[in-house]
Chains A and B, each alone.
Chain A
Amino acid sequence: MRFGIAVFPGTWSDRDCARAVEVLGHQSVPLWHRDRDLGGVDCVILPGGFSYGDHLRTGAVARFAPLMESVQEFAASGGLVWGICNGFQILCEAHLLPGALTRNVSLEFRCETAWLRVETVDTPFTRACHPGAVLAIPISHGEGRYVADAATLDRLEAERRVAFRYVARDGSPVGEASPNGSLRDIAGIVSEARNVLGMMPHPERAAEPILGSEDGLQLFRSVVETVAERSVFAVAP
């Protein structure tokens, strides 16, 4: 299968994402922010970085890139869209996901390993994970505090759209050790149709033993499984 990896001016994690895809033996193509053609890819990744310098607000300008119009259409037609870190911020700005990412409570840029509990395996991005598994995946952000109004949060929970929550290493609630102060410790959410995932942590940086964790590969594998299954259905009589 083929992943498309968006590149905005200031994107910095695109090659790490490409490497993770390569580790699994699949292909990726870069998608330039000024282009509209998604090149028939099976999944679009909006990687981490500081698109357009993150001026005004994180993701606020990237949202209007020509590429994002195609990504919006792709998502609306059920295509898999995966926003990581800055990509999550862009998806919220584009209203493909509810809520917003604001300044970490500590006001610090945090670059460290976070522990994420898989809250649902009923998504194309987590189906290869064990329910409730705790994954070691790095974070690297200054504005990752997820906020939304109480009604939105309740709805996300009721619809089982919280994909990951920050937890302590042993899976217990993270409490004051939260890396950013996200409401309800939310680290990642999916869209109503479950085909759009936004998450602050970087699974592509936990994709090989040399990186200290391979837990992120479970997410890439999930996408590969989903796409393989979809293509089987596509050719079925």
Chain B
Amino acid sequence: MRYVADVVVSLKPVVNDPQGLTVRSGLHQLGFAEVAEVRVGKHITLEVDADSEASARRRVAEMCERLLRNPVIEDYSVELRPAAEASIAPAPPPP
């Protein structure tokens, strides 16, 4: 069974995020004064083959711990879904 895992890696709240501050300032300059905070992170999409959702979840967590995030400065979250529902392969162009 194939699963799609959406991994979001973000800086821990205590770590200053100069990219986020710059984006916020850019949005303010464009008139989006309502933007209070911006944090910039990474979105990593994986397609994984696994026997079960639990197993896929466990393996993806291992990947996050070993490589995808730096535990010193980053947190992560994972959303998992069966690949059949939505593959990361690009959709064919509309006719």
The interface of chain A, by Cβ under 8 A from chain B, is: 56-57, 60-61, 64, 92-93, 98-100, 102-107, 145, 147-149, 181
Contacts and interface: CB of A to CB of B under 8 A. Distances in A.
A165 B86 CA distance: 51
B68 A102 contact: no
Contact of A107 (B19, B68, B72): B19
27 contacts: A56-B68, A60-B67, A61-B67, A92-B72, A93-B70, A98-B72, A100-B70, A100-B72, A100-B73, A102-B15, A102-B16, A102-B73, A104-B18, A105-B16, A105-B18, A106-B18, A107-B18, A107-B19, A107-B22, A145-B16, A145-B18, A147-B15, A147-B16, A147-B72, A147-B73, A149-B14, A181-B18
Contact of A181 (B14, B16, B68, B72): B16
B12 to A, nearest CB: 9
B70 A99 contact: no
B72 to A, nearest CB: 4
Contacts, number: 37
A147 B71 CA distance: 12
Nearest to A101: B73
Interface string B3-47: 000000001001110110010000000000000000000000000
Contacts of B68: 56
Contacts of A56: 67-68
Contacts of B14: 149
A219 B11 CA distance: 34
A212 B68 CA distance: 40
Contacts of A105: 16, 18
A233 B18 CA distance: 49
B70 A103 contact: no
Interface-centre pick from A60, A102, A105 (highest chain B CB count, 10 A)? A102
A101 to B, nearest CB: 9
Contacts of B18: 103-107, 145, 181
B79 to A, nearest CB: 19
A28 to B, nearest CB: 30
Contacts of A93: 70
A60 B70 contact: yes
Given A56-B67, A60-B67, A107-B22, A148 B72 contact: yes
Nearest to B11: A102
Contacts of B73: 100, 102, 147
10 tightest A-B CB contacts, nearest first: A100-B72, A100-B73, A105-B18, A107-B18, A100-B70, A103-B18, A57-B70, A147-B15, A107-B22, A147-B73
